[in-house]
Amino acid sequence: MTLEALLADCYRKAGFPVVPDTTVTTRLTAFLNETVQEILAEPGMTRLADLAAPITFASVASTPTATLPPNVARVLAITDRTNDARLESRDLQWYRSVEPDPTANTGTPEVWVPMGLVQVAVQPSDASELFAKSTSASDVNPLYIEGYRTGGYFKALNVAMTGTTAVSLSASFADFLEVTKCYLAAPAVGTVTLHEDSGVGTTLATIPIGQTFARYHQIALWPTPAAAVTYYVDAERDLPDMVNPTDEPVLPVRFHRVLVEGALMKEWQKKDDSRYRDAASRFVRGVGQLKAWLWYPPDEVPVKSGEGPSVRFSRLGAWAPADWVK
């Protein structure tokens, strides 16, 4: 069901006119989107938000950190197909204890460490003037940045975008070494990018269509990569709200009705209506059915804890045991 169909079902069940007041449409749309996020927040339900295929990123020789695309909400696994290995996840405390100076130790990474959210994918390579542009001529709202200049001086700047023509944040402050924030006054119409030195310089940050700020997950690789290697990331994605009439929720079609019950439950709760209890009961039952559908696939074969597949893989080549796949 599309957002338009979900809303129509809400209107019908709640007794609203076919074309209700815009405040009703806005409120029920918000309730539907809240319900989607609440369901995905349930333990075990995030599988619905997993990316269908791994995303990739390439390490940079002698560079300990890497940034993941904005649609990554949480990393599930990182694998190195060049060396047939899965990287282990460790925390920042372990990383700082083991590697106080990341530049002193390079090799083939075995561990990845979450470093938190950042608003730029790459920092300026040297003291630089910063430029912004968009892929759409309609992007004319102000873009804001915050960061540190040579000498450690904090500076905040803003400039009105000029669409596809790159514009300097300020020629008077051409010595930015670090950018901490990059955001727009209004959602981007096109893809907005922040550049180093010129409009065609290195891209430091990207603000996607419909968003107002850039966001990246930064990770550290240990040991620091000695060479460029492509890594594959299984991840959970952030899902945008349904806005357009043709947008559809991420839930299986047979469970779209659960969103209607969730929205009506919130509507009756807001109005202190006695129908809240019945809607809440149907919503809880529907979520339970969705969990059963997701958690218990028909061909699942239970195995004892610790037991794995009968075929085992090795990177030992000719020295691998005979029953292992080389």
Q: Is the pLDDT of residue 306 over 90?
A: no
Q: Say what the pLDDT of residue 29 is.
A: 96
Residues 194 and 203: their CA atoms lie apart, in Å, by 6
Residues 112 and 96: their CA atoms lie apart, in Å, by 13
Q: Is the pLDDT of residue 71 over 90?
A: no
Q: Is the pLDDT of residue 316 over 70?
A: no
Share of the chain above pLDDT 70, in %: 92
Q: Say what the pLDDT of residue 114 is.
A: 94
What are the Cα distances from residue 13, in Å, to 155, 206, 267? 54, 42, 11
Lowest mean pLDDT among 3-17, 43-57, 166-180, 182-196: 43-57
Residues 25 and 6: their CA atoms lie apart, in Å, by 11
In this structure, is the dihedral angle defined by the CA atoms of residues 156, 215, 106 and 113, taken in order, positive or negative? positive
Structural contact between residues 176 and 153, judged by C-beta atoms closer than 8 angstroms: no
Q: Is the pLDDT of residue 260 over 70?
A: yes
Q: Is the pLDDT of residue 285 over 80?
A: yes
Q: Say what the pLDDT of residue 59 is.
A: 92
Averaged pLDDT score across all residues of the chain:
90
Q: Which residues, including other chains, have CB under 8 Å from residue 13's CB and lie 6 or more apart?
A: 260, 264
75-124: pLDDT as tens digits: 999 999 999 999 999 999 999 999 999 988 899 999 999 998 888 988 99
Q: Say what the pLDDT of residue 32 is.
A: 97
Q: Is the pLDDT of residue 127 over 80?
A: yes
Tell me the average pLDDT across 32-58: 88
Q: Say what the pLDDT of residue 238 is.
A: 79
Tell me the average pLDDT across 302-308: 63
Structure confidence at residue 313 as a pLDDT band (50, 70, 90): low
Structure confidence at residue 301 as a pLDDT band (50, 70, 90): low
192-247: pLDDT as tens digits: 999 999 999 999 999 988 889 888 889 999 999 999 999 999 998 878 889 889 99
Helix (H, G, I), strand (E, B) or coil at 20: coil
Residues 93 and 224: their CA atoms lie apart, in Å, by 17
Q: Is the pLDDT of residue 276 over 90?
A: yes
Q: Say what the pLDDT of residue 222 is.
A: 95
What are the Cα distances from residue 250, in Å, to 1, 51, 235? 10, 12, 16
Q: Say what the pLDDT of residue 287 is.
A: 94
Residues 226 and 219: their CA atoms lie apart, in Å, by 16
154-184: pLDDT as tens digits: 999 999 999 999 999 999 999 999 999 999 9
